């Protein structure tokens, strides 16, 4: 263990003495360190003031007035100091007596406690490829020996948390007095008196309650820890277990989270940033507020300069290069944060029991996530200045409902609110495919004729987007041009209860009011649920609610939850045997589908043809993918408060929402403009290099062997050979000759005058100004 050299007339320099060994060989060196004039030369910060200068320079008038004010304040605080002195002696008595009264903790070995994150769950998330995606709950890395940590990191922690660490027995009476004086002068709690040993005892064995009993237990345990462990061991345990924000426990985990490197590689400024976190890790975390964390790191450097443990040149170099936390570039954690937050919140639905370390395998695709973020960012980068839109969201799912990408907003660091899963906004006309699906299930066809004209239901009168009416039209054109009055008529005639039933079956869980405006999407829903309701239209009519978790297991490999395989097909009845050991076949058994059918394949194929026209001739032309087949629907709510586009291909289903968090109006932003463009950009990138497939192609699913019935034995019979009958053509020839003579003798008919009739067609001119 090294010692510091002192020179009062020159810059001081030294190195951190701990070796990390459980019992240092050179005990005298520690005595030299803690009793050296390094502490005597620095201001007596433990008492909260610096000695007055006695160099012969007389203080000026202002200094004298300041000294008088301090003297008056000391006089007022005399009684307070006597009370604090009495409390200090009482605390010492408690330290020696409470271990006997309270007993030792259940786990006497501090090293046997795996984590100080009591009551939390440590979850490691893997993406769809099995690669590390993110951590949630607490994160704890390997234990790093004290001797391998940078000396300046240890110095910085001691300077901020417990400068007299090597000079007290677990409870620092001088530190308690200093904190009491500072709190009394400030009229509130501005400084704590807990030592590093007390903090370690609290984190290892106690909860976070602020009661006298808990403080007494903390003091007793701190004294007990000082008897069980050396100072170096206590400091090493503390640095490897203390919470440092962003779910990181210990300096190694914090270094990995904030700087993507081991604690052994930290610079002085990075070490100062980490050393400033223990006081309030949740508020000071650079993941939450980097400028505030940097200000705290500057304070750490000031404390280091006061102690003299580092030279002024080293401090200035650290100040000139403050630590930068590049969270967006360090790992896919930030990119996946919206998705991981959503999955983490749903975990209690699948596992319960005591806290544990878990591994969660997800459906997440990092490449699709990157493409979704880039598509949304490109839209906002090219936004016209007066568009008045500040937020957007995107969700992508496969045909089984697996969430592949989720962009919950423009910037996770600025706002953790997930607009794809938490925001409940109106879908507008993007809800109409569910209305028309209910119509197809109840006898309507794409060619059913409906009249586009003003309609009034119970005093409510909906209007079209362009305030015009086109008269009679087919239902396939009504959805292509997003005609409001026809959607309302169809929903009213089919029945709003049937519309709501299909919407719930397809994945909508938010309340669906029994009001005619339901047909226009005048209710709240979440983007990921709305996008998921289009999945049955893409996969043949099978139920496929959005999901993000495929398997949950513990660190030992035991599977706690696993999602069943979603196979388009049917599950055979259970295998049974009779008393003779032969298979017992139940002829009346019903084959159970693994995925429930919410619509017939014929109906969803018909709807897909209708939604293809939305992109080819209707309101969603900007969502065209060229030669690749795509179907989708635009949506715009009243006063342009929400704009959406949801669509699908043979490979992917995606939805885009744009709007403002305060629900304010946008300026000429419709579902067929910015959302459709964003959707097209994302889908084009996501399908790069993939074959251009039709959305519906014949798929044959091999049946289970138990579905085959053994054929009945065939008895071959030799048919009798009969002589073929001779056809009789004489009678037929006579009839034909008679018919020919009759036609030759007939008088020819005169052609009637042509009758001009008015075509019952649709006036397409009314759609020229329609956006949605």
Instruction: Tell me the catalytic residues.
Output: 161, 429
**Nearest-angstrom CA–CA distance, 51 and 41:** 11
The closest alpha carbon to 520, from 671, 412, 414, belongs to 671
Start-to-end CA distance of the chain, whole Å, equals 77
Structural tokens at position 451: 């009249």
Structural tokens at position 628: 């690749």
Helices (H), 21-121: 27-35, 37-41, 61-76, 78-102
**Nearest-angstrom CA–CA distance, 656 and 643:** 8
**Counting every residue, how long is the chain?**
772
**Nearest-angstrom CA–CA distance, 485 and 516:** 11
Q: 693 — phi, psi (to 5°)?
A: -105, 150
Q: 377: buried, middle or exposed (CB in 10 Å: 19+, 13-18, 0-12)?
A: middle
Are 673 and 643 in contact by the 8 Å Cβ rule? The answer is yes
Q: Going along 99-195, which residue ranges are E strands?
A: 122-126, 132-136, 139-140
Sign (positive or negative) of CA dihedral 709, 715, 718, 724: negative
**Nearest-angstrom CA–CA distance, 539 and 629:** 14
Calculate the alpha carbon distances from 53 to 50, 58, 317, 738 in Å.
9, 9, 30, 144
- What is the 8-class DSSP label of residue 535? H
DSSP 117-131: -TT--EEEEE-TTS-
Kindly report the number of other CB atoms within 10 A of residue 182's CB atom.
16
**Nearest-angstrom CA–CA distance, 169 and 183:** 23
Angle between the N-to-C axes of helices 251-259 and 268-275, in degrees from 0 to 180, rounded to the nearest 10? 120
Calculate the alpha carbon distances from 156 to 126, 229, 297, 428, 675 in Å.
35, 22, 10, 57, 51
In sequence order, the 6+-apart residues with CB closer than 8 A to the CB of 739 are none
Alpha carbon dihedral 576, 581, 585, 591, in 10-degree steps, equals 30
Sign (positive or negative) of CA dihedral 538, 543, 549, 554: negative
Sign (positive or negative) of CA dihedral 366, 369, 375, 378: negative
**Nearest-angstrom CA–CA distance, 194 and 210:** 13
Are 22 and 233 in contact by the 8 Å Cβ rule? The answer is yes
Sign (positive or negative) of CA dihedral 757, 758, 759, 760: negative
- What is the 8-class DSSP label of residue 472? E
* Beta-sheet strand order (sheet of 403-407): 403-407, 391-397, 653-659, 642-648, 631-636
Helices (H), 229-336: 231-241, 251-259, 268-275, 281-284, 290-307, 312-320, 327-330
3-class SS of residue 731: helix
- What is the 8-class DSSP label of residue 344? H
**Nearest-angstrom CA–CA distance, 669 and 735:** 75
Are 122 and 137 in contact by the 8 Å Cβ rule? The answer is yes
3-class SS of residue 509: coil
- What's the longest Cα–Cα distance across the chain? 151
**Nearest-angstrom CA–CA distance, 679 and 439:** 27
């Amino acid at each position: 263990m090294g010692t510091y050299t002192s020179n009062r007339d020159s810059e001081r320099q030294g190195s951190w003495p701990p070796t990390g060994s459980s019992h240092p060989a050179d005990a005298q060196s520690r005595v030299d360190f803690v009793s050296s004039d390094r502490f005597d030369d620095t201001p007596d910060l433990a008492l909260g003031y610096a000695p007055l200068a006695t160099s012969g320079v007389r203080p000026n008038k202002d200094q004298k007035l300041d000294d008088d004010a301090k003297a008056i304040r000391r006089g007022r605080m005399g009684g307070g100091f006597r009370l604090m002195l009495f409390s200090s002696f009482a605390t010492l008595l408690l330290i020696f007596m409470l271990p006997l009264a309270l007993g030792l903790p259940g786990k006497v070995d501090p090293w046997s406690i795996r984590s100080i994150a009591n009551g939390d769950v440590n979850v490691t998330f893997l993406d769809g490829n099995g690669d590390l995606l993110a951590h949630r709950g607490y994160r704890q890395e390997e234990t790093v020996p004290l001797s391998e940590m940078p000396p300046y990191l240890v110095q910085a922690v001691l300077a901020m948390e417990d400068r007299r660490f090597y000079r007290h027995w677990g409870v620092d009476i001088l530190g308690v007095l200093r904190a009491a004086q500072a709190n009394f002068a400030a009229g509130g709690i501005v400084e704590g008196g807990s030592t590093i040993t007390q903090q370690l005892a609290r984190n290892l064995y106690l909860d976070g309650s602020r009661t006298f009993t808990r403080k007494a237990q903390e003091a007793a345990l701190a004294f007990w820890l000082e008897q069980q462990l050396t100072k170096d061991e206590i400091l090493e345990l503390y640095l490897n277990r203390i919470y440092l924000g962003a779910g990181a426990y210990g300096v190694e985990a914090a270094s990995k989270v904030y700087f993507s490197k081991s604690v052994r590689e930290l610079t002085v400024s990075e070490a100062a940033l980490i050393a400033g976190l223990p006081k309030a890790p949740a508020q000071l975390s650079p993941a939450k507020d980097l400028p505030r964390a940097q200000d705290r790191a500057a304070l750490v450097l000031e404390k280091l300069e006061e102690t003299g443990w580092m030279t002024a040149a080293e401090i200035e170099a650290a100040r000139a290069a403050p630590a930068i936390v590049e969270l967006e570039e360090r790992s896919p954690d930030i990119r996946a944060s919206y998705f991981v937050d959503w999955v983490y919140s749903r975990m209690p639905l699948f596992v319960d029991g005591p806290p544990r370390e878990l591994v969660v395998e997800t459906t997440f695709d990092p490449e699709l996530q990157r493409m979704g973020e880039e598509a949304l960012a490109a839209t906002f980068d090219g936004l016209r200045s007066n568009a008045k839109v500040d937020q957007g969201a995107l969700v992508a799912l496969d045909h089984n409902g697996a969430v592949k990408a989720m962009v919950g907003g423009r910037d996770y660091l600025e706002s953790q609110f997930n607009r794809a899963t938490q925001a409940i906004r109106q879908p507008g006309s993007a809800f109409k495919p569910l209305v028309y699906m209910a119509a197809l299930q109840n006898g309507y066809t794409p060619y059913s004729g409906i009249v586009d004209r003003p309609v009034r239901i119970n005093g409510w009168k909906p209007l079209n987007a362009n305030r015009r009416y086109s008269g009679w039209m087919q239902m396939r054109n009504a959805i292509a041009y997003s005609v409001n009055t026809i959607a309302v008529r169809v929903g009213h005639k089919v029945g709003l209860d049937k519309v709501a039933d299909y919407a719930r079956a397809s994945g909508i869980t938010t309340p669906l009011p029994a009001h005619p405006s339901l047909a226009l999407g005048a209710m709240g829903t979440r983007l990921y649920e709305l996008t998921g309701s289009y999945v049955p239209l893409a996969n043949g009519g099978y139920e496929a609610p959005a999901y993000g978790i495929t398997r949950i297991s513990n660190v030992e490999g035991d599977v706690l939850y696993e999602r069943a395989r979603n196979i388009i097909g049917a599950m055979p009845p259970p295998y049974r045997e009779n008393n003779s050991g032969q298979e017992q076949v139940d002829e009346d058994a019903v084959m159970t589908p693994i995925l429930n059918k919410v619509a017939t394949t014929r109906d969803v194929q018909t709807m897909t043809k209708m939604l293809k026209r939305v992109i080819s001739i209707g309101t969603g032309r900007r969502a065209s993918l060229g030669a690749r087949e795509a179907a989708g629907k635009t949506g715009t709510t009243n006063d342009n408060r929400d704009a959406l586009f949801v669509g699908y291909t043979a490979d992917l289903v995606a939805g885009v929402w744009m709007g403002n968090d305060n629900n304010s109006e946008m300026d000429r932003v419709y579902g067929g403009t910015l959302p459709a463009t964003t959707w097209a950009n994302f889908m084009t990138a996501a399908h790069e290099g993939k074959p251009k497939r039709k959305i519906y192609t014949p798929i044959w699913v091999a049946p289970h062997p138990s579905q085959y019935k053994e054929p009945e034995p065939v008895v071959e019979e030799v048919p009798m050979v009969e002589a073929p009958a001779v056809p009789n053509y004489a009678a037929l020839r006579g009839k034909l000759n008679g018919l020919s003579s009759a036609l030759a003798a007939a008088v020819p008919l005169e052609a009637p005058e042509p009758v001009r009739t008015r075509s019952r067609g649709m006036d397409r001119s009314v759609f020229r100004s329609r956006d949605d």
